[in-house]
């Protein structure tokens, strides 16, 4: 299976910015970094889960559940990287984490791979980019999408209809008919897992799955929606990846939790580069970046500014 990518930068641009030998080194797949990032992620999740446990029955349950929810929602990081076949060199490990992380955040794996391939091939294309978020280009649309409601509704719709092989009209624009059986299989497996978890919870009369997984995952959804908004919203509607995507310069612990996806221009510029090599690629691309925000909060300010003035190109880049 080929790794997900798109037209990205032209060959001439890449050769000027990133020498061929360096690009080859950056593209190397390894198991070690993925295992280290996964261990870090699970360690943080264990910590927030323990704090949540200690806070049950107190008002502290609200912030601890939100923190735990953020960490669960951040499993989109390994889910996204494994979708690219680049999180681990070992295919079995890559696919195993792809399955588990997808189930954890209610995102079906084959659907995402197809959808994300189209996103990379047609980034910011008004008609062909299925992951573009036009609703967030107005202030109230931004608030609505950031609430997590639209994405949770979509995930629920897919969980209800995909097991029967039914896809939406929008999905038909980028999903070929021959992939529907695979989507149906995924949806049935996911649904089966959720039913099994519910049945086991009922049998043992425990709320553990709801307290430590389901409710926090739902509460954490807005955090991931705001990150997804920040990656492209307000950037130019052009094929050039240096201008249609935003990089967010945040602190290392937070960047690691999101598997370096804050370096999003770098990821789109040469999407074959694994997540662990993106900081090195950033060093090469930094002088050429157009949309750079100071952290995730800074990115939200930049997006909100765009919803007000509609200006896609920073004055410094004009």
Residue 297 lies in a domain: yes
Q: What is the pLDDT of residue 291?
A: 95
Residue 1 lies in a domain: no
- How far apart CA 158 and CA 12 sit, in angstroms, is 41
Residues (pLDDT < 70) of the chain are 1-12, 314-318
Q: What is the pLDDT of residue 39?
A: 98
**Six-digit token string for 14:** 């890449």
State how many domains the chain has.
1
Q: Which domain holds residue 246?
A: 11-307
Residue 72 lies in a domain: yes
- How far apart CA 73 and CA 90 sit, in angstroms, is 24
Residue 192 lies in a domain: yes
Residue 47 lies in a domain: yes
Q: How confident is the model over 234-293, as pLDDT tens digits?
A: 999 999 889 999 999 999 999 999 999 999 999 999 999 999 999 999 999 999 999 999
Going by C-alpha positions, the residue among 220, 309, 202 that lies closest to residue 258 is: 220
How many angstroms separate the Cα of 251 from the Cα of each of 73, 188, 222, 227, 276?
18, 39, 20, 15, 15
Q: Helix (H, G, I), strand (E, B), or coil: what is residue 247? A: strand
Q: What is the pLDDT of residue 5?
A: 44
Q: How confident is the model over 81-113, as pLDDT tens digits?
A: 999 999 999 999 999 999 999 999 999 999 999
Residue 295 lies in a domain: yes
Residue 269 lies in a domain: yes
Residue 4 lies in a domain: no
Q: What is the pLDDT of residue 219?
A: 98
190, 196, 198, 200 alpha-carbon torsion, rounded to 10°: -150
């Amino acid at each position: 299976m080929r790794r997900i990518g798109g037209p990205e930068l032209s060959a001439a641009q890449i050769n000027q910015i990133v020498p061929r030998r360096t690009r080859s080194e950056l593209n190397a797949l390894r198991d070690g970094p993925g295992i280290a990032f996964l261990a870090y992620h699970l360690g943080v999740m264990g910590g927030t889960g323990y704090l949540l446990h200690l806070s049950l029955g107190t008002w502290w349950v609200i912030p601890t559940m939100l923190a735990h929810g953020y960490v669960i929602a951040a499993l989109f990081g390994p889910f996204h990287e494994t979708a690219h076949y680049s999180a681990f060199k070992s295919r079995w490990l890559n696919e195993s984490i792809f399955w588990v992380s997808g189930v954890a955040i209610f995102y079906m794996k084959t659907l995402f791979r197809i959808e994300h391939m189209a996103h990379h091939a047609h980034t910011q294309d008004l008609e062909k980019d299925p992951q573009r978020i036009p609703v967030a280009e107005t202030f109230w649309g931004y608030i609505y999408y950031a609430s997590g409601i639209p994405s949770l509704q979509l995930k629920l719709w897919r969980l209800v209809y995909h097991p029967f092989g039914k896809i939406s009209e929008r999905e038909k624009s980028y999903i070929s008919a021959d992939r529907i059986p695979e989507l149906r299989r995924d949806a049935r497996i996911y649904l089966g897992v959720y039913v099994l978890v519910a049945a086991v919870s009922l049998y043992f009369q425990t709320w553990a799955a709801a307290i430590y997984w389901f409710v926090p995952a739902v509460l954490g959804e807005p955090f991931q929606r705001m990150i997804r908004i920040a990656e492209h919203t307000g950037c130019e509607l052009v094929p050039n990846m240096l201008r249609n995507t935003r990089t967010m310069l945040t602190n290392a612990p937070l960047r690691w939790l999101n598997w370096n996806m804050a370096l999003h221009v770098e990821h789109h510029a040469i999407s074959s580069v694994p997540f662990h090599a993106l900081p090195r690629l950033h060093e090469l691309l930094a002088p050429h970046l157009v949309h750079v925000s100071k952290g995730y909060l800074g990115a939200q300010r930049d997006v909100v500014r765009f919803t007000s003035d509609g200006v896609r190109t920073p004055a410094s880049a004009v």
